[in-house]
Amino acid sequence: MSFFASRGILVSQGSKVSIMSSAPKRSLAGLTFILLVLVSSIAFGAPRDRDRKSRWTPSSFFVQGGSGDTDTYAYTVGAAWDWNWQRQLSIGRLTGYTEVAVGRWQHDISASKDSQWFTQVGATPVLRLYPEAGDGRWFTEIGIGANYIAPLYLTDRKHFSTKFNFGDHAAVGRILDNEGRSSVALRYQHFSNAGIDSPNPGENFTQLRFSYQF
């Protein structure tokens, strides 16, 4: 039996089997990331009021922790820079920020008591929406960023093929005080290379974040 692949379709004698190409997924992730980077760059470079801090000074700092879907746990710290930008929409107020995070992943090896450790460094533009309904303290957000994970994520459960990976997340959170300095958010975050190389199993984390503005 002879096989050949053409444009994501695998053809054999008397049969045709469709194969989902990774190109659309990779293109969508790349375009979304580029769009968010452009928006954040424009907003970040916008003129600021004289009484505001330098654009290079972080707006807030955060700590977060959570678990993945294969006995992997993530512990992360980072800083965020608010964009000098907002839009009032019919559903609420849209804002954004750019974050830089450094995390440590701990994977517990199932066949022993040993653990593997990995370091994750990432930068992510994020869009945040404060819904029109409610008291103005609740928010939702989405983001997609670039991440470097080293050493290569190889465990007894999953094998990544690249150290570079996209990290996208969705979150819901709430401002905790009247001054808006502290907040807490529940985040669902996915890491994968968007089909740049195979295998690409991805890793998913559910994490709790606490942020504070000094």
Q: Compare 3 and 28 and report the one with higher pLDDT.
A: 28
Q: Is 133 helix (H, G, I), strand (E, B) or coil?
A: coil
Residue spans of the domains in the chain: they are 26-212
Q: List pLDDT tens digits, range 45-84.
A: 555 554 456 778 999 999 999 999 989 999 999 999 999 8
Distance between CA atoms of residues 41 and 81, nearest Å: 11
At 7 the pLDDT is: 35
Fold assignment, 26-212: Porin (2.40.160)
User: To the nearest whole number, what is the mean pLDDT of the chain?
Assistant: 84
90-104 as b/e: b if 16+ CB within 10 A = eebeebbbbbebebe
* pLDDT for residue 154 is more than 60: yes
This prediction's pTM: 0.78
DSSP state of 181: -
At 8 the pLDDT is: 40
Distance between CA atoms of residues 174 and 160, nearest Å: 34
At 12 the pLDDT is: 41
At 90 the pLDDT is: 94
Q: How far is CA 57 from CA 39, 82, 94, 121, 163, in A?
A: 19, 10, 22, 19, 29
The arithmetic mean of pLDDT across residues 1-12, rounded, is 38
At 15 the pLDDT is: 39
Which among 23-32, 37-46, 164-173 has the top mean pLDDT?
Answer: 164-173
* pLDDT for residue 193 is more than 90: yes
Q: How far is CA 53 from CA 86, 116, 182, in A?
A: 18, 40, 18
The arithmetic mean of pLDDT across residues 134-153, rounded, is 95
